[in-house]
Amino acid sequence: MVHDNHEATPKSSLPSNLRLTSTVPFESHRLGATHITHIRAHCYREGGLDFEQFNFDLDPIEMAGGKKSGRTLMREEGLERTDNGLKQTSWPEAFPINQKNYYTEFGKRDDQLLASRLQNEANQEKLIRDAKNKDRALARTGTADVPLPMDEDEEDTDATDELAASKIIVIHPGSQNLRIGLANDALPKTVIMAIAERFPVTESQEYEPRPKRQNFELPPEQQFGEEWSKKYNKQCADLKVDMRANRRKVLPNSKELVVNYNRRMEPEKIPEHNDPLRMEWTDTAKGTKPTFTGPDAQRIADNSDPPYRLFWPMQHGWFHENDYGVREAMFDDFETIIEQAMRRDLGLDKSSEWDQYSCVMVVPDLYDKKYLEQMLDMCLRGFEFKQVAFVQESHAATFGAGYTSACVVDVGAQKTSICCVEDGMCIEDSRVNLKYGGYDVTETFIKMMLYDHFPYADINLKRRYDFLLAEELKIKYCTMNQAEISVQLYNFHLRAPNQPTHKYGFKTYDEVILAPMGFYDPSIFDNSDKLNGRRKLLDRSYNAYDIDTPDDPTSSAQLAILAAIKPSIATNAN
């Protein structure tokens, strides 16, 4: 729109899409090149109008007659690519050289290649051995026409490699499970990373029930607080929108069907002699061992006499300092679990033979230096292995899979680590360690089920048999496939020590997908106490030459995530 102090121009003399008026401010309209041409022509015909007196709000893109660039459109739509400052590779950048002013013979001869040199040296040594063997045979028989003895180095090397691999123990400690085995094993042995010791109270008596409830007397949908309920309902609404966008069938009363069925469900008692899958509990009568490891530790009844408590020396990929009073007890439990696993699962009963074995210890990508120091001390002094090698988890995964470059995402029980591997080396600035994993999915799944009136309302993940039940439900029913989301009827058997088996039926709807979807929205997880006891027993390691500089490895990607969440903790990544 255009206006000035002149009298309004007749509407018929201008194009239908352009009017000169003094009632509408021209700043609210944008004119293109075509409009300016019409105005210039009109001013020329009228004779009394000066085109320069008009103040136009002109669009420079349209004045140029062109279109917006792709970069401009991407920026307006929020899709512009920005540089995050991370290095693309860990290899140093080599700048091009002036090819006119240099000369080299590198790579032009076969003897410059290591493989070719080794092969030539092996052939040369073979010729020398053949000549010596021929001279010996000639000296014994007096004739040179004798068959040469077989070269000992030409024997089958597979048996030698197999023998060497059988003397290497691979150990991979985790927060919930320990994986251990020999290098020539097809699959490792999986052992629970916990030890049961005699203790005045059990862990279910010492800690509050999990999932945490604010008040057991309130209805199930109010037990977890208003804030968590809002997050859960928002996830349910977002899932419905997403399913409708993907043309999935969504019933409007699915939640009501689940809640009404679960609310009126009563368990069915099954006598012990009618339960073919009843669990065998560990016998803890008087005179038994003071400690248990492996499957026996998790199958000790919570009401056993004497009582036993489960200790977990690792949590979230770190030492579990909050579970112990002194660090020596934590180190002893860690070493005992591995020692018992070697004796029970690998058949290495005689500790006097351990000095004939080598060890490969798999450690986290973003490791703690104090953790590595303790592992080295345990392997060389405690177990007296012949030699020890440390391998990062992502490096070990790509080596085992046969890849030289990959992005490794390791989802564990209590931590999720991400690392890019290039040419067999972990890129330092790509390492990320997130303190949530499969256990958080289990806890959130049970919390969502309780919110929807799960019939077994007294479940407590601190009780051993309840934890085993929750893990079984998660493995069986949780999914990431939207096509499987509908109202489903399932059942499970609750097997508690010294009690008859109870059979429960329950219905699920979107809980089976929203719990694992928490990996993309971790705020649904309970992260309130994951750092409790951190640095309680082990101080942070600092550089020997600069006491103010931490000695633990850092990552630019990890620091960027911490800075985005809470800038005040970005400098304390570990």
Distance (Å, rounded) from C-alpha 468 to C-alpha 301? 12
Name the average pLDDT for the chain.
83
The residues facing 419 across adjacent strands are: 408
pLDDT score for 19: 45
Whether residue 410 sits in one domain with residue 271:
no
The answer to whether residue 90 sits within a structural domain is no
3-class DSSP state of 305: coil
Distance (Å, rounded) from C-alpha 240 to C-alpha 224? 23
Of the listed ranges 5-14, 298-307, 439-448, 501-510, the one predicted with least confidence: 5-14
3-class DSSP state of 433: strand
State the Cα angle at 473 between 502 and 492, rounded to 5°. Answer: 20
Whether residue 404 sits in one domain with residue 546:
yes
Higher pLDDT, 273 or 190: 190
Of the listed ranges 385-389, 490-494, 530-534, the one predicted with least confidence: 530-534
pLDDT score for 42: 62
Whether residue 546 sits in one domain with residue 426:
yes
pLDDT score for 279: 86
Whether residue 34 sits in one domain with residue 20:
yes
The answer to whether residue 273 sits within a structural domain is yes
**Domain end: 76, 102, 126, which one?**
76
State the Cα angle at 396 between 86 and 572, rounded to 5°. Answer: 45
Distance (Å, rounded) from C-alpha 166 to C-alpha 181? 10
Specify the pTM: 0.73
State the Cα angle at 380 between 377 and 386, rounded to 5°. Answer: 160
* Element (DSSP H or E) covering residue 514: helix 511-514
Q: Tell me if 58 sits within 8 A of 36, measured CB to CB.
A: yes
Whether residue 305 sits in one domain with residue 214:
yes
Give the CATH number of the domain where residue 368 resides.
Answer: 3.30.420.40
Whether residue 328 sits in one domain with residue 473:
no
Higher pLDDT, 309 or 423: 309
Query: Domain tally for the chain?
Result: 4
Whether residue 297 sits in one domain with residue 243:
yes
Q: Tell me if 530 sits within 8 A of 318, measured CB to CB.
A: no
Whether residue 442 sits in one domain with residue 429:
no
Q: Tell me if 516 sits within 8 A of 480, measured CB to CB.
A: yes
Whether residue 554 sits in one domain with residue 461:
no
Distance (Å, rounded) from C-alpha 478 to C-alpha 459? 18
Per-residue confidence band for 2, with pLDDT thresholds at 50, 70 and 90? very low
Number of H helices, E strands in the chain: 16, 17
Q: Residue 347: left (phi > 0), alpha (psi -120 to 50), or beta? A: left
**Domain end: 76, 93, 125, which one?**
76
pLDDT at 385 exceeding the cut of 80? yes
pLDDT score for 355: 92
For 242-264, give the DSSP string: HHHHTT----TTHHHHHHHHHHH
Give the CATH number of the domain where residue 306 resides.
Answer: 3.90.640.10
Whether residue 332 sits in one domain with residue 304:
no
Whether residue 295 sits in one domain with residue 231:
yes
| Structural domain for 72, as ranges | 11-76
Whether residue 51 sits in one domain with residue 128:
no
pLDDT at 272 exceeding the cut of 90? no
